[in-house]
């Protein structure tokens, strides 16, 4: 049964992990850039807005890109406080002006001292860590370490400490860390291993995973993410999160799941 399921999921990965996946997915927005910092800034912001319909997420991401003059890193590092006025009307669902202004403040202060957003995660994790839990906890604490960090913005940056599934952060890390020759994920970060990644657990992934017997836990929380990721690691210990393509693709594209 295990071998049959692995073959089925591997076939689905090959089906969905293709360049055609990019166009209608929010990852299409950071794919418009080539500079490392532009990619990671845009990818981070897009991932943090990734709830709701994909078309709506892409539209909001395009607006963000325009607000940053289609040069995210240059804008983040060099903009003056007066340039933030243009963000006063930016909203995406519950992501409001206060949240946008704090994101700008954190990113500017961070990039004035650091070359890449990678170290905001990788500094908290070592090669012996099985997965990225410490990186997510550490990043959350770092992100909200600035004086007067707004309490309301915390709901937009998840943490395992609150038992959240951390879907959007896990997706962002997948984008930045996973590397293959398919062209969807960027694989531009080298200090976190693909083997340490955890599955981005959205409603589609969860439904399919439960149907396939990959989740037994009744709740949908951080421990569910660990359970599913560990089960997927049995199929590919070096790259367990590649199965995100299979589970998400089956959940979105197919009415039924067959083995």
% residues pLDDT > 70 (the chain): 97
As a whole number, the mean pLDDT across the chain is: 95
Cα(259)–Cα(15) distance, rounded to whole angstroms?
A: 15
**Separation between Cα atoms, residue 195 and residue 205, nearest integer Å:** 19
- Of residues 26 and 254, which shows the higher confidence score? 26
Say whether pLDDT at 22 is over 80: yes
In angstroms, the CA 246 to CA 16 distance is 7
Closest CA to 246 of 3, 7, 2, 16: 16
Element (H, E) at 7: helix 2-16
The H or E element containing residue 173 is helix 167-177
Q: What is each CA distance from 36 to 31, 100, 101, 116, 247, in whole angstroms?
A: 11, 22, 23, 8, 28
Q: What is residue 256's predicted lDDT score, i.e. its pLDDT?
A: 52
Has residue 160 got a pLDDT over 60? yes
pLDDT, tens digit (0-9, with 9 covering 90-100), for 64-75: 999 999 999 999
Angle between helix 36-48 and helix 54-67 axes, rounded to 10 deg: 130
DSSP character string of 63-100: HHHHHTTT-HHHHHHH--GGGGGGGTT--BTTB-HHHH
Asked whether the beta carbons of 248 and 16 are under 8 A apart, the reply is yes
**What pLDDT is recorded for position 252?**
86
> For the CA atoms of the chain, what is the radius of gyration?
18
Output the pTM of the full model.
0.95
**95-106 pLDDT, tens per residue?**
999 999 999 999
């Amino acid at each position: 049964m295990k071998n049959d399921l692995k073959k089925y999921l591997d076939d689905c990965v090959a089906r969905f992990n293709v360049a055609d996946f990019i166009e209608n997915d929010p990852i299409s927005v950071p794919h418009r850039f080539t500079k490392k910092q532009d990619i990671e800034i845009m990818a981070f912001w897009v991932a943090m807005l990734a709830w709701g319909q994909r078309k709506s997420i892409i539209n909001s991401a395009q607006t963000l890109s325009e607000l940053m003059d289609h040069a995210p890193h240059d804008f983040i590092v060099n903009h003056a406080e007066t340039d933030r006025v243009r963000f006063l009307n930016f909203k995406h669902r519950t992501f409001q002006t206060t949240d946008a202004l704090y994101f700008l403040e954190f990113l500017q202060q961070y990039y004035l001292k650091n070359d890449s957003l990678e170290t905001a995660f990788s500094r908290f994790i070592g090669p012996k860590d099985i997965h990225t839990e410490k990186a997510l906890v550490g990043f959350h604490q770092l992100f909200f370490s600035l004086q007067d960090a707004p309490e309301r913005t915390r709901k937009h940056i998840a943490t395992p400490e609150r038992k959240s599934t951390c879907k959007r952060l896990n997706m962002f890390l997948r984008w930045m860390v996973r590397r293959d020759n398919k062209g969807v994920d960027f694989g531009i970060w080298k200090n976190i291993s693909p083997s340490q990644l955890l599955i981005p657990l959205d409603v589609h992934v969860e439904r399919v995973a439960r149907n396939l017997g990959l989740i037994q836990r009744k709740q949908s929380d951080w421990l569910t993410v660990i359970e599913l990721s560990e089960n997927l690691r049995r199929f590919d210990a070096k790259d367990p999160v590649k199965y995100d393509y299979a589970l998400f693709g089956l959940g979105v594209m197919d009415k039924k799941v067959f083995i």
